[in-house]
Amino acid sequence: MSIDHLIQQAIAHHRGGRYADAEALLRQALAFDQNNPDALYLLGMLAIQTKRPRDAIEWLSRAVQVRPEAAEYHANLGHALRSLNRLDESATQYDRAIQIQPSYALAHINLGAIRRVQGRPRDAVEHFRTALRIEPRQIGGWMNLGNALRDLNELGDALDAYQKASALDPKLADARGAAATTLAALGRVSEAQLNFTAALRLAPNHLPTLVNFGMMLRGQNDFDGAIDCFRKALALDPGNGEAHERLGRALMAACRIDEATTHYEQAVRLSPTPRMRVTFATLIPPVYRSMEDVNFWRARLVEEIGKLQREGVKCDITSQPAPTIVYLPYQDEGGHDRELAEAIARLHMINQAPLPGPPPEYEGREQERKIRVGFLSGLFKNQTVGLWMQGLIAKLDRARFEVVAISTAPHNDETGRFIREHADRYVVLSPALPQARETIAPLGLDVLIFADIGMEPFTATLAHSRFAPVQCVMWGHPITSGMATVDYYISNEFADAEDGRQNYTENLARLPNLAVYYYRPAAPSRTFTRHKFELPDDAHLYGCLQAQYKLHPAFDAAIAGILRGDPKGLLLLTRGGTARGEDLILSRIRAGYPDIVDRVRFMPSLSRDEFRGLTALCDCLLAPFPFGAGDSSLEGFALNLPTVTLPTGYLKGRLTYAMYKLMQIDDCIARDLNEYVGIANRLGTDVEFNRAVRAKIAAANNVLYENEAGVRDVEEFLRQAVRSATA
């Protein structure tokens, strides 16, 4: 029997699924000619199909030696090498196949996929585009192109690629789901929701779509919707620790604390990785049932972190964001926050090659050029961080400073657009951490200012790297970072007392003015009536219009004291959280102070204009404690509305106090709980006193708004910090 006949018979067996018979005939052919390229190649392909990559590499390596001009031989050898994660060798084979046959679309796609895994998304894009020029109806090519463009944060082009894949196959759930995820990243939430829904109609059990839809809903504070998605995802993969962790996170945000804890326990049992263990150890609820509950969670946090330290646990945050404890500053007054933040920071590590340096034109001109300042946040939008930072970004002296705004997301609301338009350069980072670091490093920054560290994981993770000689953090999250890579905490001499330096691992910069340029808030567009909000005409309105997680059990006594001292008093809270959180707060107050709970009212969700209208109706505002008020006080002072405050020894409880000290007004600053209650009651019931305080605020509040003195303070601090770092 001839070799050709043996090979033809082997092919017939192969087509019939009789792989063992096919292999036997091919080996027989090699007995006649050990270098027969067809037999070697077919044996290699059989080995790939029967999941024996090492055998495949052996056969195909021999085949390409005998027939080096065969592009498909190199491509399939590349496939076998790739299956064993031998990516450099695999890329060499795909590259050789392309050299032999430049129109080999599949080789371009596979080489592009390798370049993407190797962290070279730009090269990947070029290969995918080449493949699509050759075969424009290649659905996999469009999907791969979209994925690589997302790595580069070129979201508009990525969306176009996914939509082309979807047009080629309207029933492809992958394409619809990927388009939805990209729309969500672009902030086009309504369109994203439509695409997620369409993708799930096509494939109700499509795991990536369920997960990404849940992530978007959680980001929109639709915790019930997120929980539903994550439950469905968990049902598809019940042994997946990360699925339990995602569900636990959404449940915790919804204040369903016991359920959340159960899923976190499952997560760490199924996936006891360092990251999962750190996540579990640093678990904190947003709302507490009682002071005993606060003490329990604080003790648990200290114990769990200590356990990880003793065991030498290190969480690798090279590619995955660090677990972030958003609610740590809200837990108590702050006596041990520094030690905890420092201990948590030491639990993390980065394994990444040295970052690229600044461009050549940046070097050697320190005395000639402007100071290049970067501002980094994921919250450059209509949110407190964006509102506090936008003026500083716009007003730094451009004769001396160059400003780069670095955002982790492409925010397109009013504040996001303002920051983009007023920065000298606006950079949106890739969602992939290694690429994000490689984008920041070459910017040649003299100073990098993190507007907040701790509000969300991505920014907090980036803060563990050194990108500039001077790195600072501001009060978007009023607690020390605990990180050796952050040099300064920029604050104010009233917001942080002289002995406040001990609360920070950073050097504390106590500037004379607020380190912001805050635009005076607009007045409500019209006069809102009490009837609009279903409020009684004769009630004295005490507004504590804060997020639920600021309503600490220690503040309940103040609520009770104020309402007991004023029978006509009504406490207004905002429904800026969850129904379960609202229930926990009301249950807590009912248990301790049942006589006043009926006069505690959660107001419905409001627009910005309605919020200002409601604020204007209040007789006074209440800054809670131990975590006080910030942006809401600035909103109130713009309306000449008094805010009662009881300053603590820590920044998070002193911002309203600092504003009063800058206005040189002491009437509403309490020294203890009884005085706090007394001031509030006097503002609520004594019309003349209230009017007098409002007049003082009206005469002095210009110091808080659009005050360039704060900008000049920051400029002088930055010049000195850069001078010290480069001396």
Residues 463 and 342 in one domain: no
pLDDT given at position 270 = 98
Is residue 233 one of the residues assigned to a domain? Answer: no
pLDDT band at 32 (very low <50, low <70, confident <90, very high): confident
Residues 509 and 581 in one domain: no
- Beta carbons of 512 and 711 less than 8 angstroms apart: no
Residues 492 and 616 in one domain: no
Is residue 525 one of the residues assigned to a domain? Answer: no
Is residue 189 one of the residues assigned to a domain? Answer: yes
Long-range pairs for 295-302: beta carbons < 8 A, 24 or more residues apart: 297/331, 298/331, 298/332, 301/328, 301/331, 301/340, 302/336, 302/340
Give the chain's radius of gyration (CA, Å): 31
pLDDT given at position 14 = 79
Residues 404 and 509 in one domain: yes
Determine the Cα–Cα distance for residues 392 and 378; give it in Å rounded to an integer. Answer: 17
- Beta carbons of 627 and 550 less than 8 angstroms apart: yes
pLDDT tens digits for 320-364?
Answer: 998 888 899 998 876 789 999 999 999 999 887 677 666 655 555
Q: Residues for the chain: how many in total?
A: 727
Q: Point out the domain boundary residue: 300, 318, 349.
A: 349
Residues 651 and 679 in one domain: yes
pLDDT tens digits for 688-722?
Answer: 999 999 999 999 999 999 999 999 999 999 999 99
Alpha carbons within 13 A on the beta-carbon side of 658: 28
Q: What is the domain-level CATH number for residue 32?
A: 1.25.40.10
- Beta carbons of 662 and 703 less than 8 angstroms apart: yes
pLDDT given at position 361 = 56
pLDDT band at 25 (very low <50, low <70, confident <90, very high): confident
Range of the structural domain that residue 499 is part of: 368-519+710-726
pLDDT band at 432 (very low <50, low <70, confident <90, very high): confident
Residues 463 and 512 in one domain: yes
The strand ranges marked E within 206-346 are: 315-316
Alpha carbons within 13 A on the beta-carbon side of 565: 20
- Per-residue DSSP letters for 547-581? -GGG--GGGHHHHHHHHHH-TTEEEEEE--S-HHH
pLDDT given at position 81 = 95
Say what percent of the chain tops pLDDT 90. Answer: 83
The tally of domains found in the chain comes to 4
Mean pLDDT, the chain, rounded, equals: 94
Q: Is the peptide bond before 647 cis (omega within 30 degrees of 0)?
A: no
Residues 374 and 436 in one domain: yes
pLDDT given at position 567 = 98
Residues 714 and 701 in one domain: no
Residues 400 and 281 in one domain: no
Determine the Cα–Cα distance for residues 72 and 503; give it in Å rounded to an integer. Answer: 64
Is residue 232 one of the residues assigned to a domain? Answer: no
Q: What is the domain-level CATH number for residue 543?
A: 3.40.50.2000
Is residue 29 one of the residues assigned to a domain? Answer: yes
Residue 3 has pLDDT above 90, yes or no: no
Residues 503 and 539 in one domain: no
- Which helix (H) or strand (E) covers residue 425, if one does? strand 425-428
CA 579 to chain centre: 24
pLDDT given at position 545 = 95
pLDDT tens digits for 576-608?
Answer: 778 899 999 999 999 999 999 999 999 998 898
- Per-residue DSSP letters for 116-168? HHTT-HHHHHHHHHHHHHH-TT-HHHHHHHHHHHHHTT-HHHHHHHHHHHHHH
Q: Point out the domain boundary residue: 179, 200, 219.
A: 219
pLDDT tens digits for 224-255?
Answer: 999 999 999 999 999 999 999 999 999 999 99
Q: What is the domain-level CATH number for residue 394?
A: 3.40.50.11380
pLDDT tens digits for 272-300?
Answer: 999 999 999 999 999 999 999 999 999 99
Beta bridge partners of 470: 447
Is residue 361 one of the residues assigned to a domain? Answer: no
pLDDT given at position 209 = 97
Region of poorest pLDDT, from 349-358, 369-378, 417-426: 349-358
Residues 141 and 160 in one domain: yes
pLDDT band at 60 (very low <50, low <70, confident <90, very high): very high
Q: Point out the domain boundary residue: 318, 349, 380.
A: 349
Of 508, 403, 380, the C-alpha closest to 455 is 380
Is residue 266 one of the residues assigned to a domain? Answer: no
Is residue 362 one of the residues assigned to a domain? Answer: no
- Between 361 and 59, where is the model more confident? 59
- Can you list the alpha helix ranges (DSSP code H) found in 271-347? 274-281, 291-310, 337-345
pLDDT band at 366 (very low <50, low <70, confident <90, very high): low
pLDDT given at position 131 = 97
Residues 321 and 399 in one domain: no
pLDDT given at position 626 = 96
